[in-house]
């Protein structure tokens, strides 16, 4: 027995066709609306809000250096590229970027805090408080207040850590550590502000510190007389 309520096949096809056409129209409207939004001048990037504690930069200069590199509007701009553009500015360690509707980008910056000079005097390398090597104009800092550290590439963190451990030990015998070098063979060489050089040898951190604690001013003067 046939179902008296069954919908004829041609009606089903008409309904399906109507549904497809309706969905297609909706998709076109959405696409057109999206195209309008992406290109409407109201959503062009109107301003860059740059925040942070600056010692070697200022917000005006930072905006001027980066603004011309921005591509797209509020919705299409690549935040990763914006972050990389700011982090490419000297002295900038980290940038956090977020959108602020309707047309502003907010950038929060962290600058490098120099704690040591890194490498030869002819270079522009420095270490920040995390032991990271960065390049900047060394004339922007008071070099007399910073020690000079040396070491193989990739071992700046270890050198800075050793400097932090050795300095208070030498201070106890009234010696001031001016330079510290980790040689390619793993030996440690300390240079005092007097110009005296002390070979601390290689080994574990504790072994090097133990040898340093056995130093006294007399032995250091003898070492200085032979350098």
Binned at pLDDT 50, 70 and 90, residue 227 comes out as very low
**Which pLDDT score is estimated for 222?**
42
- The 10s digit of each residue's pLDDT in 180-218 is 999 999 999 999 999 999 999 999 999 999 999 988 655
Task: Say which range, 88-102, 176-190, 211-225, has the weakest mean pLDDT.
Answer: 211-225
Query: What share of the chain in percent tops pLDDT 90?
Result: 63
Each residue's pLDDT tens digit, 10-23: 666 666 676 666 67
User: What is the phi/psi pair of residue 82, to 5°?
Assistant: -65, -45
Residue 91 is predicted with a pLDDT of 96
pTM beyond 0.95: the answer is no
Place of tokens 């900047």: 136
Positive or negative: CA dihedral 114, 116, 121, 124: negative
pLDDT at residue 15, rounded to an integer:
65
> What sign has the CA pseudo-torsion 77, 79, 84, 89?
positive
CA atoms within 13 A of residue 106's CA, in its CB half-sphere = 6
Place of tokens 């980008």: 105
Instruction: Please tell me the number of Cα atoms within 13 Å of 81 on its side-chain side.
Output: 10
Which pLDDT tens digit goes with each residue over 30-87?
555 555 555 555 678 888 999 999 899 999 999 988 988 888 888 889 999 999 999 9
């Amino acid at each position: 027995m046939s179902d008296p309520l069954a919908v004829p096949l041609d009606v089903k096809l008409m309904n399906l066709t109507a549904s497809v056409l309706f969905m297609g129209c909706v998709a076109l409207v959405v696409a057109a609306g999206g195209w309008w939004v992406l290109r409407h001048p109201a959503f062009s990037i109107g301003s860059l809000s740059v925040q942070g504690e600056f010692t070697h930069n200022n917000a005006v200069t930072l905006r001027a250096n980066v603004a011309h590199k921005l591509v797209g509007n509020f919705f299409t701009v690549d935040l990763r590229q914006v972050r990389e553009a700011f982090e490419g500015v000297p002295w900038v360690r980290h940038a956090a970027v977020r959108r602020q509707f309707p047309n502003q980008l907010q950038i929060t910056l962290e600058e490098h805090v120099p704690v040591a000079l890194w490498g030869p005097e002819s270079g522009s390398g420095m270490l920040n408080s995390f032991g990271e090597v960065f390049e900047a104009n060394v004339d922007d800092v008071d070099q007399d207040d910073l020690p000079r550290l040396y070491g193989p590439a990739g071992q700046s963190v270890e050198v800075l850590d050793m400097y932090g451990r050795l300095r208070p030990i030498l201070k106890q015998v009234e010696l001031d550590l001016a330079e510290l070098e980790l040689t390619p063979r793993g030996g440690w060489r300390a240079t005092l502000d007097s110009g005296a050089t002390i070979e601390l040898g290689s080994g574990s951190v504790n072994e090097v510190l133990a040898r340093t604690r056995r130093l006294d001013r007399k032995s250091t003067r003898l070492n200085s007389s032979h350098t």
